[in-house]
Amino acid sequence: MDNGTVKLAPSILAADFARLGEQVAEAERAGADRIHVDVMDGHFVPNLSMGPAIVQSLRRVTPLTLETHLMISDPDAFLDDFAAAGSDSLLVHWEGNNNLHRTVQRIRVLGKRAGVVINPATPSAVLEEIVQDVDQVLVMTVNPGFGHQQFLPSTLPKIRRIRELVERRKPACEVEVDGGIDATTAPLVVRAGATVLVAGSAIFGERDGVSGAMSRLRRAVEHHERNITAAERSAPQRSQPCNSD
Ligand code: DX5
Ligand code: ZN
């Protein structure tokens, strides 16, 4: 996104697959910072989506960063395939991975950016010993598996805690959110500390097209940020406690 701090990652799960190249090109023209590719195996999540062949096709038509969100039971078995297909970032779930550190190391050996993803019911504390090894943390703001679900507001305090953790342990690590992000929820997650927003249906599912939808999201975040800053500036300073004697 344009304000220099918040980035927008359109999720192609909500795109029209018959016109995928066209839709990605539209997102690119509208200023998308990266493309989010949701990979589902019907096992880790109850849905099937796409595999390395889609990444390979997209790699030929866009210079944008392709981040691959692996919602699959055995990510280790597919890291090499996605890396070879052209993924720039590989995002793996904390849930169900007994050897997360090894998975992250393998992603590094492949020369890719590494990210760890946590589900809504997973506490932020699990990131404590892995955050220093990754480039991004992806916080699920819906239960993974489907697009167009409702944002879970209960994830907001967790995003705040993760922002604090990242500032403490690795400030360069990105805090990204995924699920139910639209013009109403985007300002909330940004305020909580997210700097990268994944959005599927709010970008590809809108009648006025990808570029109209992206401008709306961008405006919602910028407008909110301006209002907050103005409110903070005009808020009365808290008075210093004074001694009565
Ligand atoms: C959900 C996926 C999301 C999904 C988001 O499991 O990880 O990336 O595409 O879709 P929206 O933005 O429609 O909630
Ligand atoms: Zn995703």
Give 236's pLDDT tier (boundaries 50, 70, 90).
low
Tokens of 220: 């919602």
pTM of the prediction? 0.93
pLDDT value for 108: 98
138 CB near ligand 1 (under 6 Å): no
244: pLDDT strictly greater than 50: no
Residues 87-140 pLDDT 10s = 999 999 999 999 999 999 999 999 999 999 999 999 999 999 999 999 999 999
Give the model confidence (pLDDT) of 65-97 as tens digits: 999 999 999 999 999 999 999 999 999 999 999
Quick one: pLDDT at residue 1? Answer: 41
Q: What's the average model confidence in pLDDT over 10-20?
A: 97
Residue 75's closest CA among 109, 51, 111? 51
With vertex at residue 144, the alpha carbon angle to CA 213 and CA 17, rounded to the nearest 5 degrees, is 50
Instruction: Give the Å distance between the CA of 172 and the centre of ligand 2.
Output: 21
**CB of 179 shorter than 6 A to ligand 1:** yes
Cα 45 → chain centroid: 18
Cβ(178) – ligand 1 distance below 6 Å: yes
* DSSP letter string, 183-237: TTTHHHHHHHT--EEEESHHHHS-TTHHHHHHHHHHHHHHHHHHHHHHHHHHSPP
The helix (H) or strand (E) run that includes residue 35 is: strand 34-40
User: Which is nearest to 108 in space by CA: 130, 138, 139, 140?
Assistant: 130
Residue nearest atom 7 in ligand 1 by C-alpha distance: 144
Q: Which of 24, 36, 31 is nearest to 178 (CA)?
A: 36
Annotation marks residue 133 as catalytic: no
Q: Which pLDDT score, from 0 to 100, does residue 4 have? A: 55
DSSP state of 149: P
Catalytic-role residue among 33, 135, 178, 182: 178
